[in-house]
Structure 1
Amino acid sequence: MTFSVVARCAETGQLGIAISSSSIAVGARCPWLRPGVGAVASQNITLPSLGPQLLDLLEQGLAPSEALATLVEQDHSHYRQVTVIDSQGRTAHFSGAQTLGIHHALSGEQCVAAGNMLADAGVIAAMVRAFEMATGPLAERLLAAMQAGQAEGGEAGPVHSAALVVVDDLLWPIVNLRVDWADEDPIGALDQLWQAYRPQLQAYIDRALNPQIAPGYAVPGDER
């Protein structure tokens, strides 16, 4: 059903998640991030509330492993697959006994990847390797990991949705891109969205923080 990578950039402190699924609108339910705190992917038989609950525990000072241990005994945890990273780059993961199909989770340097209903367990190791070897902005490294997972076989069946979310030190995500449904290659469509958004990213931040120095909007009524 789903494979994902949750990661931190050691240079910027940014936190991010890239995720894809055979289900519709995976970005609406599974990725949860809080600037300066951590990031959580809640997948398989998804319980969205695990995301904010785990982030609350991280914010209270618990390590990812401690936070995850607090929740995995609750609410049908044997159906859940969860990955966590905190603002220090510490990771944890959990896959319940009822996780679907071939499944695997693996921590790497500043990242943790997981998936279920996989074509092969090696998908996750390929994602971790790709993230660790990639360079550039965190968003691009996350996409490189997803592309490597897909090249290794990805899900056992077709995937239809994908999402990419990155937070920095602002209250809102600096990247929040979603492909809620595609008949083919939502990861490729997500990468196209990122390539279009990347050159505009800083301008949107500038517009929010100081409209007076922001680039012109090139719309009727903008006389700058």
Structure 2
Amino acid sequence: MLPFIILLAGCQSITVLDPKSSTGKEQAYLIWFSLAIMAIVLLVVFILFTRFVIRYRYTEKKSEFIPQDIKGNLKYELTWTIIPFILLAVLAVPTLKITFDQSPKTEAETNTNGIHINVTAEQFRWTFEHKNSKTVHNELIIPENKDITFHLSSKDVIHSFWIPELAGKVDVIPNKELIYVIKNAEIGEYDGKCAEFCGIQHANMTFDVKVVSMEKYNQYLKQSSNQENED
């Protein structure tokens, strides 16, 4: 048990189940909902398994018992066929809806309103370009309670854009722009990273995320800290 607990210590910064945005909360809901259904199924199976083990265990009294030859039971067969179908249907509806709503879109499908940020991935850094051409490496600052539209592209290999507390990971593909929206982020500081192995320095391809008030975000955009030529 102790080695397992120590192993989990390395997961402290991956706080997917403590989301700080509407997008992340929808994804966390799917995780908890799936786990709840799984727990119910496991509980029922465990109870039945325990009952059968106890009731039909071998005893001296049953040493001469010859089981009845049963060809089938239509009621039971329908039950264990229909119930899993219903559970899968219940799980499928929110899964399909949320997955479709949060899937990366193309440029043609994206609303031009709101806050747009160009995100360029390359070995081994992230570049964020805001609407006023302010360009920063490995630091993302966004306003709270807004729809933030990210235009994701890669200069070299496939990367994966991931801010665990705000949203799920999205592949960033060379020669293709994908659009991903994070909604209603809460004020705070978060960790972002590349979630797709992309080379020898993959582990160091991280970025800092700060969610601030709209006033502070506008002030940030006015600062002259363009880093386009920074290594």
Using structure 2 for the length normalisation, give the TM-score.
0.24
Tell which structure's C-alpha radius of gyration is larger.
2
Structure with a larger share of its residues in helix:
2
Using structure 1 for the length normalisation, give the TM-score.
0.24
